[in-house]
Amino acid sequence: MRSLRSLGDWIYEPNLWHINRTSTAMAFAIGLSCAMIPVPGQIFIAVLLAVRLKANLPLSVTLIFVTNPLTMPVIYYAAYKLGAQLLNTPIIDVEFAISWEWLRDSLGAIWAPFLLGCTVLGISVGAMGYLFISALWRWRVSRDWHRRRLRRKT
């Protein structure tokens, strides 16, 4: 396709577009891990990782929307609490406001536990997503094989 020529040959990698056990499980790991990154541009990180690791690209990108304006406060607060517990620091009650003053004053006090919590949560959720999809895929294949065997016997 001429319109995609500028993207190079990587765009034609089959695993980026096909649904199979490996590319799907890796897409879940990438998408869920990138969803926990607390910076704008998660989509670019997910695309880069999906291309590099040959994971399903649309699925990787779609899964970053686990964190959206409705779920972000809950997920990021849980990440902050987790980080604070891991660092053994007291949890500071901070009211959120979208402003430079809030970033300067409040984020400075909570950045270390927040980033640690996001990192641990991202790695954990990504690994659980990978393992869950791999196990689900294997269970489904073995169930289908078992049903075929039963149909052949009758």
Digit-coded pLDDT (tens) for 87-146: 999 888 877 666 777 667 777 778 899 999 999 999 999 999 999 999 999 999 999 999
35 or 102: which leads in pLDDT: 35
Q: Which two structure tokens, joined as six digits, stand for 37?
A: 């990154």
Q: What ranges do the domains of the chain cover?
A: 2-153
25 pLDDT exceeds 90? yes
Give pTM, 2 decimals: 0.84
Question: Where residue 7 falls among pLDDT bands split at 50, 70, 90?
Answer: low
Residue 17: predicted pLDDT: 87
